[in-house]
């Protein structure tokens, strides 16, 4: 089942040491927005690069293929950590937080808005759904025609 998932999504995979799944994907850093056709940064290299690992890793003593996660340029060359740090700073500078209220609903364009959750204690229930663009909007090429400001 896992192997079928990988094959269907063009994800290279191998089983290492018997039961450890290793995956590799090459994806574009920038994609065309499906409605406006503008080029948008749509990847998470800054999150998956080893420099963002939540655990301490001595990258100098480990083989690249043994790292728990990493990201590279599409040609396989290493990403510059300084560039990734600049991207992380831009994300932090543009972060907006708010307190959820009972009954709140958030709709966002997944290609234009990065999103996530901050650590939280207490009880909460979050329901998430993802959908393709509505058929009524699919044919629009001008976002102003959809009432966008």
The mean pLDDT of 28-34, rounded to a whole number, is 89
Check whether 109 has a pLDDT greater than 60: yes
Domain presence at residue 92: yes
Total count of domains within the chain: 1
Kindly state whether residue 17 falls inside one of the protein's structural domains: yes
DSSP state of 89: H
- In the chain, the percentage of residues whose pLDDT exceeds 90 is 24
Residue with structure tokens 């699919």?
138
Residues 6+ apart with CB under 8 A from 117: 126
* Structural domain boundaries enclosing 36: 2-142
Is residue 149 domain-resident? no
Tokens representing residue 94 in the block: 């543009």
**Residue 13 located in a structural domain:** yes
Q: Determine the pLDDT at residue 146.
A: 45
Question: Cα 19 vs. chain centroid, distance in angstroms?
Answer: 26
| Percent of residues, the chain, with pLDDT higher than 70 | 83
In the structure encoding, which two tokens stand for residue 148, read together?
Answer: 């966008």
3-class DSSP assignment, residue 51: helix
Residue 148 lies inside a defined structural domain of this protein:
no
Residue 147 lies in a domain: no
**Per-residue confidence (pLDDT) for residue 87, from 0 to 100:** 92
Confidence of residue 147 (pLDDT cuts 50, 70, 90): very low
Phi, psi dihedral angles at 13 (to 5 degrees): -145, 160
- Whether residue 57 contacts residue 50, with contact meaning beta carbons closer than 8 Å, is answered with yes
Average pLDDT over residues 14-36: 87
Give the list of residues 6+ apart from residue 126 with CB closer than 8 angstroms, or none.
117
* Residue 48, both tokens: 């998956």
Please state the rounded mean pLDDT for residues 105-133: 81
pLDDT of residue 145: 47
Check pLDDT > 70 for residue 129: yes
3 state SS of 52: helix
Is 31 among the domain residues? yes
Mean pLDDT of the chain: 81
Q: What is the pLDDT of residue 59?
A: 66
Q: Is residue 19 part of a domain?
A: yes
């Amino acid at each position: 089942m896992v192997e079928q998932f990988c094959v269907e999504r063009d994800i290279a995979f191998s089983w290492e040491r018997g039961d450890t799944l290793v995956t590799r994907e090459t994806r574009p850093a920038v994609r065309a927005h499906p409605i406006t056709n503008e080029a948008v940064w749509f990847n998470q290299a800054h999150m998956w690069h080893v420099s963002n690992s939540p655990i301490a890793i001595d990258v100098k003593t480990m083989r690249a293929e043994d790292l728990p996660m990493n990201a590279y340029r599409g040609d396989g060359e290493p990403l510059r950590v300084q560039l990734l740090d600049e991207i992380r700073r831009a994300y932090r500078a543009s972060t907006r937080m708010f307190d959820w209220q009972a009954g709140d609903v958030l709709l966002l364009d997944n290609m234009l808005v990065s999103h996530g959750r901050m650590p939280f204690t207490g009880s909460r229930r979050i329901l998430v759904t993802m959908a393709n663009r509505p058929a009524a909007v699919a044919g629009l090429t001008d976002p102003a025609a959809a009432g966008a400001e």
